[in-house]
Amino acid sequence: MQATTQLIHSIPVDPLTGAVSVPIYQTSTFVQDAPGENKGYDYARSGNPTRATLESLIAQLEGGSTGLAFASGLAAIDAVAKLLKTGDEIVAVDDIYGGAYRLFTQVYAQFGIKIHFVDTSDPEKVFNAITPNTKLIWLETPTNPTLKISDIEAIAKIAKANRCLLVVDNTFASPALQQPLLLGADIVVHSATKYLGGHSDLIAGLVVTKDPELGARIKFFQNATGNILGPFDSWLVIRGIETLHLRVRQHGESAQVIAEYLEQHPAVDKVFYPGLKTHPGHEIAKKQSKGFGGIVSFTLKHDHIDAAKALVTSTQLFKLAESLGGIKSLVSHPATMTHKSIPAEKRHAAGVSDSLIRLSLGLEDAQDLIKDLDQAFHTSAAKFEAATNAHQQPASC
Ligand X SMILES: *Cc1c(COP(=O)(O)O)cnc(C)c1O
Which residues of the shown chain bind ligand X in the complex (CB under 6 A)? 72-74, 97, 99-100, 140, 144, 169, 171-172, 191, 193-194, 203, 205
The burial class, CB within 10 Å (0-12 / 13-18 / 19+), for 18 is exposed
Max Cα distance, the chain (Å): 90
User: Least distance in Å: CB of 361 to ligand X?
Assistant: 15
Q: Of these residues, 25, 88, 97, 309, which one is catalytic?
A: 97
Q: Are 358 and 336 in contact, with CB atoms under 8 Å apart?
A: no
- Residue 4: its H or E element: helix 3-10
**Amino acid in the structure at residue 275:** G
User: Least distance in Å: CB of 143 to ligand X?
Assistant: 8
**Amino acid in the structure at residue 149:** I
Q: Which is nearer to ligand X, 49 or 73 (CB)?
A: 73
Those residues whose C-beta lies under 8 Å from the C-beta of residue 51, and which sit 6 or more positions away, are 69, 228, 229, 230, 231, 234
Would you call 358 a catalytic residue per the annotation?
Answer: no
Residue with CB nearest ligand X?
A: 73
Would you call 301 a catalytic residue per the annotation?
Answer: no
Those residues whose C-beta lies under 8 Å from the C-beta of residue 222, and which sit 6 or more positions away, are 68, 70, 79, 228
Q: Of these residues, 42, 45, 119, 125, which one is catalytic?
A: 45
User: Least distance in Å: CB of 74 to ligand X?
Assistant: 4
Q: Which is nearer to ligand X, 222 or 314 (CB)?
A: 222
Q: Which is nearer to ligand X, 59 or 69 (CB)?
A: 69
Q: Are 258 and 370 in contact, with CB atoms under 8 Å apart?
A: yes
Would you call 365 a catalytic residue per the annotation?
Answer: no
User: Least distance in Å: CB of 388 to ligand X?
Assistant: 35
Task: Give the HSE-up count for residue 79: Cα atoms under 13 Å, Cβ half-sphere.
Answer: 36
Q: Which is nearer to ligand X, 192 or 307 (CB)?
A: 192
d(CA 394, CA 397): 9
Q: How far is CA 193 from the centre of its chain?
A: 8
Q: Which is nearer to ligand X, 172 or 318 (CB)?
A: 172
**Amino acid in the structure at residue 308:** A
Dihedral sign, Cα of residue 180, residue 285, residue 258, residue 148: positive
d(CA 288, CA 139): 14
Would you call 194 a catalytic residue per the annotation?
Answer: yes
Q: Of these residues, 51, 114, 194, 358, which one is catalytic?
A: 194
Alpha helices in the chain (DSSP H): 3-10, 49-62, 73-81, 98-102, 123-129, 152-161, 212-225, 231-241, 244-263, 282-288, 305-312, 344-349, 366-392
User: Least distance in Å: CB of 366 to ligand X?
Assistant: 23
User: Least distance in Å: CB of 215 to ligand X?
Assistant: 20
Q: Of these residues, 78, 95, 151, 169, which one is catalytic?
A: 169
With CA atoms as reference, report the closest residue to 357 among 266, 256, 253, 271: 271
**Amino acid in the structure at residue 372:** D
User: Least distance in Å: CB of 125 to ligand X?
Assistant: 20
Q: Which is nearer to ligand X, 169 or 186 (CB)?
A: 169
Size (the chain), residues: 397
Q: Which is nearer to ligand X, 48 or 332 (CB)?
A: 332
Q: Which residues are catalytic?
A: 45, 97, 169, 194
